[in-house]
Structure 1
Amino acid sequence: MEKQTPTLESSSQPQLKLAYLRPGDMIDVEFASATKVRTKLQLVGFDTGRYLLLKQPNPRTEGSYADVLFEGNPVIVRLVLEGEAGECIAFKTKIRAVTNFPFRLLYLDYPEQVENRALRAQKRVRTHIPVDVTADNNQADNTKKLASGVIVDISSAGCRILFKAQNEGGNVTHMNIKVSIGSGSQKDLLMLSGQVMNQKKERGMISVGVRFTDEEAHIIEVFDHLLIDTEFEC
Protein backbone atom coordinates (compact mmCIF):
# COMPACT_ATOMS: atom_id res chain seq x y z
CA MET A 1 0.00 0.00 0.00
CA GLU A 2 1.34 3.41 -0.93
CA LYS A 3 2.37 5.56 1.98
CA GLN A 4 0.14 8.60 2.50
CA THR A 5 1.95 11.86 3.07
CA PRO A 6 -0.09 14.27 5.23
CA THR A 7 -1.21 17.40 3.40
CA LEU A 8 -2.45 20.87 4.32
CA GLU A 9 -5.42 22.40 2.54
CA SER A 10 -3.57 25.64 1.85
CA SER A 11 -0.27 27.23 2.63
CA SER A 12 0.77 30.70 3.65
CA GLN A 13 3.69 32.28 5.40
CA PRO A 14 2.53 34.42 8.33
CA GLN A 15 4.93 35.49 11.03
CA LEU A 16 6.02 32.44 12.97
CA LYS A 17 4.48 32.36 16.44
CA LEU A 18 6.25 29.34 17.87
CA ALA A 19 7.86 31.59 20.48
CA TYR A 20 4.56 31.29 22.40
CA LEU A 21 5.22 27.59 22.96
CA ARG A 22 6.34 26.41 26.38
CA PRO A 23 7.93 23.12 27.52
CA GLY A 24 5.16 20.75 28.55
CA ASP A 25 2.70 21.89 25.86
CA MET A 26 0.92 19.02 24.10
CA ILE A 27 1.25 19.10 20.30
CA ASP A 28 -0.79 17.21 17.72
CA VAL A 29 1.52 15.29 15.35
CA GLU A 30 0.45 13.40 12.21
CA PHE A 31 3.02 11.04 10.68
CA ALA A 32 3.23 9.97 7.03
CA SER A 33 2.26 6.30 6.72
CA ALA A 34 0.10 3.88 4.78
CA THR A 35 -2.68 4.58 7.28
CA LYS A 36 -3.35 7.78 9.20
CA VAL A 37 -1.13 7.90 12.28
CA ARG A 38 -1.87 10.84 14.55
CA THR A 39 -1.10 11.40 18.22
CA LYS A 40 -0.31 14.09 20.79
CA LEU A 41 3.27 14.49 22.00
CA GLN A 42 4.76 16.66 24.74
CA LEU A 43 7.08 19.50 23.78
CA VAL A 44 10.45 19.40 25.53
CA GLY A 45 11.82 22.54 23.91
CA PHE A 46 13.06 24.04 20.65
CA ASP A 47 16.01 25.85 19.09
CA THR A 48 14.58 28.65 16.94
CA GLY A 49 15.37 28.10 13.29
CA ARG A 50 16.85 24.64 13.86
CA TYR A 51 14.59 22.07 15.48
CA LEU A 52 11.70 21.22 17.84
CA LEU A 53 12.27 18.55 20.49
CA LEU A 54 9.37 16.27 21.55
CA LYS A 55 8.94 13.23 23.75
CA GLN A 56 8.36 10.01 21.82
CA PRO A 57 5.09 8.11 22.36
CA ASN A 58 5.26 5.78 25.35
CA PRO A 59 5.38 2.24 23.87
CA ARG A 60 3.95 0.76 27.09
CA THR A 61 0.74 2.79 26.94
CA GLU A 62 0.45 3.86 23.29
CA GLY A 63 1.96 0.93 21.40
CA SER A 64 4.85 0.90 18.96
CA TYR A 65 5.38 3.73 16.48
CA ALA A 66 8.52 2.14 15.03
CA ASP A 67 7.09 2.18 11.49
CA VAL A 68 6.81 6.00 11.45
CA LEU A 69 9.61 7.11 13.78
CA PHE A 70 12.54 7.33 11.39
CA GLU A 71 14.72 10.12 10.02
CA GLY A 72 13.23 11.98 7.07
CA ASN A 73 9.62 10.85 7.55
CA PRO A 74 7.21 13.77 6.78
CA VAL A 75 4.87 14.99 9.52
CA ILE A 76 2.24 17.66 10.06
CA VAL A 77 2.18 19.50 13.37
CA ARG A 78 -0.98 21.23 14.64
CA LEU A 79 -1.34 23.31 17.79
CA VAL A 80 -3.51 25.97 19.37
CA LEU A 81 -2.13 29.33 20.43
CA GLU A 82 -4.35 30.99 23.01
CA GLY A 83 -4.64 34.76 23.10
CA GLU A 84 -6.94 37.65 22.28
CA ALA A 85 -8.23 36.04 19.08
CA GLY A 86 -7.07 32.45 19.41
CA GLU A 87 -5.37 30.70 16.52
CA CYS A 88 -4.77 27.18 15.29
CA ILE A 89 -1.46 26.89 13.46
CA ALA A 90 -0.15 23.99 11.41
CA PHE A 91 3.00 23.28 9.47
CA LYS A 92 4.69 20.54 7.47
CA THR A 93 8.10 19.33 8.51
CA LYS A 94 10.04 16.07 8.81
CA ILE A 95 11.78 14.01 11.43
CA ARG A 96 15.34 15.15 11.88
CA ALA A 97 16.50 12.53 14.37
CA VAL A 98 15.20 9.90 16.78
CA THR A 99 17.01 9.10 20.04
CA ASN A 100 16.24 6.28 22.47
CA PHE A 101 19.05 6.74 25.00
CA PRO A 102 19.24 8.09 27.62
CA PHE A 103 15.72 9.37 26.82
CA ARG A 104 13.21 8.61 24.06
CA LEU A 105 13.12 11.90 22.13
CA LEU A 106 12.07 13.08 18.69
CA TYR A 107 13.69 15.96 16.78
CA LEU A 108 11.67 17.77 14.09
CA ASP A 109 13.06 20.28 11.61
CA TYR A 110 12.02 23.84 12.42
CA PRO A 111 9.33 24.93 9.93
CA GLU A 112 9.86 27.44 7.14
CA GLN A 113 6.14 27.98 6.46
CA VAL A 114 3.16 28.06 8.80
CA GLU A 115 -0.57 27.99 8.09
CA ASN A 116 -2.88 29.66 10.57
CA ARG A 117 -6.56 30.44 11.03
CA ALA A 118 -8.66 32.19 13.66
CA LEU A 119 -10.51 29.94 16.07
CA ARG A 120 -13.12 32.43 17.23
CA ALA A 121 -15.64 34.33 15.15
CA GLN A 122 -15.68 36.97 17.88
CA LYS A 123 -12.63 38.83 19.04
CA ARG A 124 -12.28 38.97 22.79
CA VAL A 125 -12.09 42.27 24.67
CA ARG A 126 -9.21 42.58 27.09
CA THR A 127 -10.36 43.25 30.65
CA HIS A 128 -9.25 43.10 34.29
CA ILE A 129 -12.38 41.95 36.12
CA PRO A 130 -11.96 40.29 39.56
CA VAL A 131 -14.04 37.12 39.94
CA ASP A 132 -14.62 34.17 42.27
CA VAL A 133 -15.01 30.77 40.66
CA THR A 134 -16.98 27.93 42.23
CA ALA A 135 -17.75 24.40 41.10
CA ASP A 136 -21.28 24.16 39.72
CA ASN A 137 -23.02 21.05 41.05
CA ASN A 138 -26.52 22.35 40.26
CA GLN A 139 -27.18 22.57 44.00
CA ALA A 140 -27.03 25.89 45.83
CA ASP A 141 -25.80 24.23 49.04
CA ASN A 142 -23.20 22.03 47.33
CA THR A 143 -20.82 24.44 45.63
CA LYS A 144 -17.10 24.56 46.25
CA LYS A 145 -15.04 27.69 45.76
CA LEU A 146 -12.11 26.88 43.51
CA ALA A 147 -10.21 30.17 43.46
CA SER A 148 -10.33 33.93 43.03
CA GLY A 149 -8.92 35.31 39.81
CA VAL A 150 -9.19 37.90 37.06
CA ILE A 151 -10.95 37.76 33.69
CA VAL A 152 -8.25 38.90 31.25
CA ASP A 153 -10.31 38.68 28.04
CA ILE A 154 -13.98 38.11 27.32
CA SER A 155 -16.60 37.76 24.56
CA SER A 156 -20.25 36.75 24.59
CA ALA A 157 -19.09 33.18 23.88
CA GLY A 158 -16.59 32.82 26.71
CA CYS A 159 -13.62 34.22 28.60
CA ARG A 160 -10.14 33.51 29.89
CA ILE A 161 -9.52 33.66 33.65
CA LEU A 162 -6.09 33.96 35.26
CA PHE A 163 -5.31 32.58 38.74
CA LYS A 164 -2.27 32.27 40.95
CA ALA A 165 -1.13 28.66 40.81
CA GLN A 166 -1.77 26.60 43.94
CA ASN A 167 0.41 23.62 44.83
CA GLU A 168 -2.63 21.45 45.46
CA GLY A 169 -4.48 22.62 42.38
CA GLY A 170 -5.66 19.89 40.00
CA ASN A 171 -6.89 19.78 36.42
CA VAL A 172 -10.35 21.37 36.08
CA THR A 173 -10.79 20.90 32.32
CA HIS A 174 -14.43 20.09 31.41
CA MET A 175 -15.62 21.12 34.89
CA ASN A 176 -18.86 23.12 35.09
CA ILE A 177 -18.34 26.35 37.03
CA LYS A 178 -20.03 29.52 38.26
CA VAL A 179 -18.22 32.84 37.78
CA SER A 180 -19.19 35.49 40.35
CA ILE A 181 -18.47 39.08 39.35
CA GLY A 182 -18.53 42.02 41.72
CA SER A 183 -19.90 45.31 40.35
CA GLY A 184 -20.04 48.70 41.99
CA SER A 185 -23.40 49.45 40.35
CA GLN A 186 -24.93 46.13 41.42
CA LYS A 187 -26.19 45.34 44.92
CA ASP A 188 -25.90 41.61 44.23
CA LEU A 189 -23.10 39.70 42.53
CA LEU A 190 -23.37 39.13 38.81
CA MET A 191 -23.19 35.43 37.92
CA LEU A 192 -22.25 33.55 34.75
CA SER A 193 -22.25 29.78 34.20
CA GLY A 194 -19.67 28.06 32.05
CA GLN A 195 -17.53 25.04 31.31
CA VAL A 196 -13.73 24.97 31.49
CA MET A 197 -12.46 24.03 28.02
CA ASN A 198 -8.71 24.17 28.60
CA GLN A 199 -6.14 24.87 31.31
CA LYS A 200 -2.53 26.03 31.12
CA LYS A 201 0.08 26.63 33.82
CA GLU A 202 2.81 29.15 33.17
CA ARG A 203 5.19 31.19 35.31
CA GLY A 204 3.36 30.62 38.57
CA MET A 205 -0.06 31.37 37.06
CA ILE A 206 -2.88 29.21 35.73
CA SER A 207 -5.15 30.37 32.90
CA VAL A 208 -8.39 28.61 31.99
CA GLY A 209 -10.52 29.05 28.89
CA VAL A 210 -14.24 29.09 29.73
CA ARG A 211 -17.22 28.60 27.40
CA PHE A 212 -20.36 30.32 28.68
CA THR A 213 -23.41 28.05 28.99
CA ASP A 214 -26.04 30.63 29.98
CA GLU A 215 -28.79 31.85 27.68
CA GLU A 216 -27.67 34.67 25.39
CA ALA A 217 -30.13 37.11 26.97
CA HIS A 218 -28.60 36.58 30.42
CA ILE A 219 -25.06 37.03 29.09
CA ILE A 220 -26.05 40.28 27.37
CA GLU A 221 -27.69 41.51 30.60
CA VAL A 222 -24.51 40.85 32.58
CA PHE A 223 -22.41 42.55 29.89
CA ASP A 224 -24.69 45.60 29.98
CA HIS A 225 -24.05 45.94 33.72
CA LEU A 226 -20.30 45.67 33.07
CA LEU A 227 -20.48 48.16 30.17
CA ILE A 228 -19.00 45.57 27.76
CA ASP A 229 -20.00 45.91 24.10
CA THR A 230 -21.04 42.50 22.70
CA GLU A 231 -21.08 43.69 19.08
CA PHE A 232 -17.60 42.61 18.03
CA GLU A 233 -16.25 42.62 14.52
CA CYS A 234 -15.61 39.17 13.00
Structure 2
Amino acid sequence: MEKQVPTLDSSSQPQLKLTYLRPGDMIDVEFAAATKVRTKLQLVGFDTGNYLLLKQPNPRTDGSYADVLFEGNPVIVRLVLEGETGECIAFKTNIRAVSNIPFRLLYLDYPKQVENRALRAQKRVRTHIPVDVTADNSQTDSRKKLASGVVVDISSAGCRILFKAQSEGSNVTHMNIKISIGSGSQKDLLTLSGQIMNQRKERGMISVGVRFTDDEAHINNVFDHLLIDTEFEC
Protein backbone atom coordinates (compact mmCIF):
# COMPACT_ATOMS: atom_id res chain seq x y z
CA MET A 1 0.00 0.00 0.00
CA GLU A 2 1.36 3.44 -0.93
CA LYS A 3 2.37 5.60 1.98
CA GLN A 4 0.13 8.63 2.51
CA VAL A 5 2.10 11.84 2.96
CA PRO A 6 0.32 14.42 5.18
CA THR A 7 -0.90 17.44 3.23
CA LEU A 8 -1.58 21.06 4.16
CA ASP A 9 -3.49 23.82 2.43
CA SER A 10 -1.40 25.70 -0.13
CA SER A 11 -1.46 29.00 1.77
CA SER A 12 1.62 29.48 3.92
CA GLN A 13 3.39 32.25 5.78
CA PRO A 14 7.18 32.39 6.05
CA GLN A 15 7.19 33.94 9.52
CA LEU A 16 7.31 31.29 12.24
CA LYS A 17 5.51 32.10 15.47
CA LEU A 18 6.94 29.94 18.24
CA THR A 19 7.36 32.73 20.81
CA TYR A 20 4.98 31.20 23.34
CA LEU A 21 6.19 27.60 23.12
CA ARG A 22 7.59 26.22 26.38
CA PRO A 23 9.19 22.89 27.34
CA GLY A 24 6.43 20.55 28.48
CA ASP A 25 3.86 21.77 25.94
CA MET A 26 1.95 18.97 24.20
CA ILE A 27 2.15 19.10 20.40
CA ASP A 28 -0.04 17.29 17.88
CA VAL A 29 2.12 15.29 15.45
CA GLU A 30 0.90 13.43 12.35
CA PHE A 31 3.34 10.98 10.77
CA ALA A 32 3.37 9.92 7.11
CA ALA A 33 2.27 6.26 6.88
CA ALA A 34 0.05 3.90 4.88
CA THR A 35 -2.72 4.90 7.27
CA LYS A 36 -2.83 8.16 9.24
CA VAL A 37 -0.76 8.01 12.43
CA ARG A 38 -1.43 10.94 14.74
CA THR A 39 -0.52 11.46 18.38
CA LYS A 40 0.47 14.12 20.93
CA LEU A 41 4.11 14.43 22.00
CA GLN A 42 5.76 16.54 24.66
CA LEU A 43 8.10 19.33 23.62
CA VAL A 44 11.53 19.13 25.26
CA GLY A 45 12.91 22.25 23.59
CA PHE A 46 14.10 23.72 20.31
CA ASP A 47 17.12 25.36 18.70
CA THR A 48 15.74 28.21 16.59
CA GLY A 49 16.44 27.62 12.93
CA ASN A 50 17.82 24.13 13.48
CA TYR A 51 15.48 21.64 15.13
CA LEU A 52 12.62 20.92 17.54
CA LEU A 53 13.16 18.23 20.17
CA LEU A 54 10.24 16.05 21.30
CA LYS A 55 9.81 13.02 23.53
CA GLN A 56 9.08 9.81 21.62
CA PRO A 57 5.85 7.94 22.33
CA ASN A 58 6.22 5.54 25.25
CA PRO A 59 6.05 2.02 23.75
CA ARG A 60 4.76 0.59 27.05
CA THR A 61 1.72 2.85 27.21
CA ASP A 62 1.29 4.17 23.64
CA GLY A 63 2.27 1.14 21.57
CA SER A 64 4.98 0.83 18.94
CA TYR A 65 5.64 3.65 16.47
CA ALA A 66 8.69 1.94 14.95
CA ASP A 67 7.17 2.01 11.46
CA VAL A 68 7.03 5.84 11.39
CA LEU A 69 9.97 6.86 13.59
CA PHE A 70 12.80 7.00 11.09
CA GLU A 71 15.00 9.72 9.64
CA GLY A 72 13.44 11.63 6.75
CA ASN A 73 9.83 10.61 7.38
CA PRO A 74 7.50 13.60 6.72
CA VAL A 75 5.30 14.87 9.55
CA ILE A 76 2.75 17.60 10.14
CA VAL A 77 2.90 19.51 13.43
CA ARG A 78 -0.16 21.32 14.78
CA LEU A 79 -0.25 23.41 17.95
CA VAL A 80 -2.08 26.22 19.69
CA LEU A 81 -0.16 29.31 20.74
CA GLU A 82 -1.47 31.42 23.60
CA GLY A 83 -1.13 35.17 23.22
CA GLU A 84 -3.18 38.28 22.62
CA THR A 85 -5.27 36.68 19.87
CA GLY A 86 -4.69 32.96 20.21
CA GLU A 87 -3.50 31.12 17.13
CA CYS A 88 -3.49 27.62 15.72
CA ILE A 89 -0.41 27.02 13.60
CA ALA A 90 0.61 24.06 11.46
CA PHE A 91 3.67 23.20 9.45
CA LYS A 92 5.20 20.36 7.46
CA THR A 93 8.66 19.11 8.34
CA ASN A 94 10.72 15.91 8.45
CA ILE A 95 12.21 13.72 11.14
CA ARG A 96 15.83 14.75 11.44
CA ALA A 97 17.02 12.07 13.86
CA VAL A 98 15.70 9.47 16.32
CA SER A 99 17.57 8.94 19.58
CA ASN A 100 16.96 6.00 21.92
CA ILE A 101 19.97 6.24 24.26
CA PRO A 102 20.09 7.52 26.92
CA PHE A 103 16.59 8.91 26.34
CA ARG A 104 13.93 8.28 23.69
CA LEU A 105 13.90 11.58 21.80
CA LEU A 106 12.76 12.77 18.39
CA TYR A 107 14.42 15.58 16.42
CA LEU A 108 12.36 17.46 13.80
CA ASP A 109 13.77 19.87 11.22
CA TYR A 110 12.95 23.46 12.13
CA PRO A 111 10.21 24.61 9.72
CA LYS A 112 10.77 27.34 7.15
CA GLN A 113 7.07 28.01 6.54
CA VAL A 114 3.92 27.83 8.64
CA GLU A 115 0.25 28.53 8.16
CA ASN A 116 -1.91 29.97 10.88
CA ARG A 117 -5.39 31.17 11.73
CA ALA A 118 -6.82 33.18 14.61
CA LEU A 119 -8.81 31.23 17.17
CA ARG A 120 -10.64 34.15 18.73
CA ALA A 121 -13.06 36.45 16.95
CA GLN A 122 -11.89 39.36 19.11
CA LYS A 123 -8.49 40.45 20.21
CA ARG A 124 -8.09 40.70 23.96
CA VAL A 125 -7.37 43.81 25.97
CA ARG A 126 -4.36 43.51 28.25
CA THR A 127 -5.26 44.19 31.87
CA HIS A 128 -4.06 43.73 35.45
CA ILE A 129 -7.29 43.17 37.40
CA PRO A 130 -7.08 41.38 40.79
CA VAL A 131 -9.81 38.75 41.18
CA ASP A 132 -10.96 35.94 43.45
CA VAL A 133 -12.08 32.75 41.73
CA THR A 134 -14.55 30.33 43.31
CA ALA A 135 -15.95 27.03 42.11
CA ASP A 136 -19.58 27.52 41.06
CA ASN A 137 -21.78 24.54 41.90
CA SER A 138 -25.27 25.67 40.95
CA GLN A 139 -26.83 22.40 42.11
CA THR A 140 -25.76 22.72 45.75
CA ASP A 141 -25.29 26.51 45.97
CA SER A 142 -21.88 25.82 47.51
CA ARG A 143 -18.89 27.79 46.39
CA LYS A 144 -15.31 26.90 47.22
CA LYS A 145 -12.62 29.52 46.76
CA LEU A 146 -9.98 28.23 44.38
CA ALA A 147 -7.45 31.04 44.41
CA SER A 148 -6.79 34.74 44.02
CA GLY A 149 -5.20 35.84 40.79
CA VAL A 150 -4.96 38.51 38.12
CA VAL A 151 -6.86 38.86 34.84
CA VAL A 152 -4.07 39.51 32.32
CA ASP A 153 -6.22 39.81 29.19
CA ILE A 154 -9.94 40.01 28.53
CA SER A 155 -12.56 40.29 25.79
CA SER A 156 -16.36 40.10 25.77
CA ALA A 157 -16.04 36.35 25.12
CA GLY A 158 -13.61 35.41 27.89
CA CYS A 159 -10.39 36.11 29.72
CA ARG A 160 -7.10 34.66 30.89
CA ILE A 161 -6.28 34.54 34.61
CA LEU A 162 -2.85 34.03 36.14
CA PHE A 163 -2.34 32.41 39.57
CA LYS A 164 0.61 31.38 41.68
CA ALA A 165 0.97 27.61 41.36
CA GLN A 166 -0.02 25.64 44.44
CA SER A 167 2.15 22.77 45.71
CA GLU A 168 -0.69 20.32 45.09
CA GLY A 169 -2.46 21.61 42.02
CA SER A 170 -5.28 19.78 40.26
CA ASN A 171 -6.79 19.91 36.80
CA VAL A 172 -9.67 22.42 36.79
CA THR A 173 -10.40 22.32 33.04
CA HIS A 174 -14.17 22.51 32.30
CA MET A 175 -14.93 23.66 35.86
CA ASN A 176 -17.66 26.29 36.22
CA ILE A 177 -16.42 29.30 38.19
CA LYS A 178 -17.40 32.70 39.54
CA ILE A 179 -14.94 35.56 39.13
CA SER A 180 -15.23 38.28 41.80
CA ILE A 181 -13.76 41.66 40.93
CA GLY A 182 -13.21 44.52 43.36
CA SER A 183 -14.21 47.91 41.96
CA GLY A 184 -13.55 51.33 43.41
CA SER A 185 -16.64 52.73 41.71
CA GLN A 186 -19.11 50.70 43.76
CA LYS A 187 -19.39 48.96 47.11
CA ASP A 188 -20.49 45.53 45.88
CA LEU A 189 -18.17 43.16 44.11
CA LEU A 190 -18.56 42.74 40.40
CA THR A 191 -18.94 39.10 39.33
CA LEU A 192 -18.68 37.17 36.10
CA SER A 193 -19.58 33.53 35.50
CA GLY A 194 -17.50 31.33 33.27
CA GLN A 195 -16.05 27.94 32.44
CA ILE A 196 -12.35 27.10 32.47
CA MET A 197 -11.47 25.87 28.99
CA ASN A 198 -7.75 25.20 29.41
CA GLN A 199 -4.91 25.50 31.87
CA ARG A 200 -1.15 25.43 31.72
CA LYS A 201 1.69 25.65 34.22
CA GLU A 202 4.91 27.49 33.61
CA ARG A 203 7.54 29.27 35.68
CA GLY A 204 5.73 28.74 38.97
CA MET A 205 2.43 30.14 37.68
CA ILE A 206 -0.88 28.67 36.50
CA SER A 207 -2.63 30.26 33.51
CA VAL A 208 -6.29 29.42 32.80
CA GLY A 209 -8.40 30.39 29.81
CA VAL A 210 -12.01 31.19 30.73
CA ARG A 211 -15.11 31.40 28.51
CA PHE A 212 -17.79 33.72 29.92
CA THR A 213 -21.25 32.19 30.36
CA ASP A 214 -23.15 35.33 31.43
CA ASP A 215 -25.51 37.09 29.05
CA GLU A 216 -24.10 39.90 26.93
CA ALA A 217 -25.91 42.65 28.83
CA HIS A 218 -24.36 41.61 32.17
CA ILE A 219 -20.86 41.34 30.65
CA ASN A 220 -21.20 44.81 29.08
CA ASN A 221 -22.37 46.22 32.43
CA VAL A 222 -19.30 44.81 34.19
CA PHE A 223 -17.04 46.16 31.45
CA ASP A 224 -18.62 49.60 31.82
CA HIS A 225 -17.79 49.63 35.55
CA LEU A 226 -14.22 48.53 34.78
CA LEU A 227 -13.89 51.14 32.01
CA ILE A 228 -13.08 48.45 29.46
CA ASP A 229 -13.96 49.58 25.95
CA THR A 230 -14.94 46.54 23.89
CA GLU A 231 -15.05 48.68 20.76
CA PHE A 232 -11.34 49.37 21.08
CA GLU A 233 -9.62 46.08 21.70
CA CYS A 234 -5.92 45.82 20.97
TM-score by length of 1: 0.95
Deviating more after overlay: 148-157 vs 215-224: 215-224
Match of 1:123 in 2: 123
CA offset at residue 227 of structure 1? 1.5
Match of 1:56 in 2: 56
The answer to whether the aligner puts 1:40 opposite 2:40 as a matched pair is: yes
Distance 1:67 1:78 in 2: 21
User: Which whole-Å deviations, capped at 9, do the CAs of 1:171-222 have from their partners, x for residues lacking one?
Assistant: 2111111111111112211111111111111222111111111112211121
Question: Matched residue of 1:144: which SS?
Answer: strand
Map 1:202-213 → 2, pairs under 5 A: 202-213=202-213
Question: Matched residue of 2:224: which SS?
Answer: helix
Deviating more after overlay: 118-127 vs 11-20: 11-20
Question: Matched residue of 2:120: which SS?
Answer: coil
The answer to whether the aligner puts 1:223 opposite 2:205 as a matched pair is: no
Q: Does structure 2 conserve the Cα–Cα contact (< 8 Å) formed by 1:123 and 1:232?
A: no
Match of 1:97 in 2: 97
Percent of pairs with identical residues: 89
Deviating more after overlay: 60-69 vs 47-56: 60-69
Question: Matched residue of 2:142: which SS?
Answer: coil
Match of 2:137 in 1: 137
Distance 1:132 1:5 in 2: 49
Question: Matched residue of 2:183: which SS?
Answer: coil
Distance 1:38 1:115 in 2: 19
Question: Matched residue of 1:172: which SS?
Answer: coil
Q: Does structure 2 conserve the Cα–Cα contact (< 8 Å) formed by 1:122 and 1:232?
A: no
The answer to whether the aligner puts 1:86 opposite 2:91 as a matched pair is: no
Match of 1:186 in 2: 186
Match of 2:113 in 1: 113
CA offset at residue 17 of structure 1? 2.0
Q: Which amino acid aligns with 2:94?
A: K
Question: Matched residue of 1:160: which SS?
Answer: strand
Distance 1:14 1:225, change over 3 A: farther
Q: Does structure 1 conserve the Cα–Cα contact (< 8 Å) formed by 2:125 and 2:233?
A: no
CA offset at residue 15 of structure 1? 2.5
User: Which whole-Å deviations, capped at 9, do the CAs of 1:4-35 have from their partners, x for residues lacking one?
Assistant: 11111133234222242111000010111111
CA offset at residue 140 of structure 1? 6.8
Match of 2:28 in 1: 28
Runs of 4+ in 1 over 4 A off after TM superposition: none
Match of 1:154 in 2: 154
Distance 1:232 1:68, change over 3 A: farther
Q: CA RMSD in A?
A: 1.6
**How many residues are paired up?**
234
Question: Matched residue of 2:67: which SS?
Answer: coil
Question: Matched residue of 1:217: which SS?
Answer: helix
User: Which whole-Å deviations, capped at 9, do the CAs of 1:34-83 have from their partners, x for residues lacking one?
Assistant: 11111110001111111111011112222111111111110010111111
Question: Matched residue of 1:20: which SS?
Answer: coil
Q: Which runs of 5+ in 2 are unaligned?
A: none
Q: Does structure 2 conserve the Cα–Cα contact (< 8 Å) formed by 1:5 and 1:33?
A: yes
Q: Which amino acid aligns with 1:64?
A: S
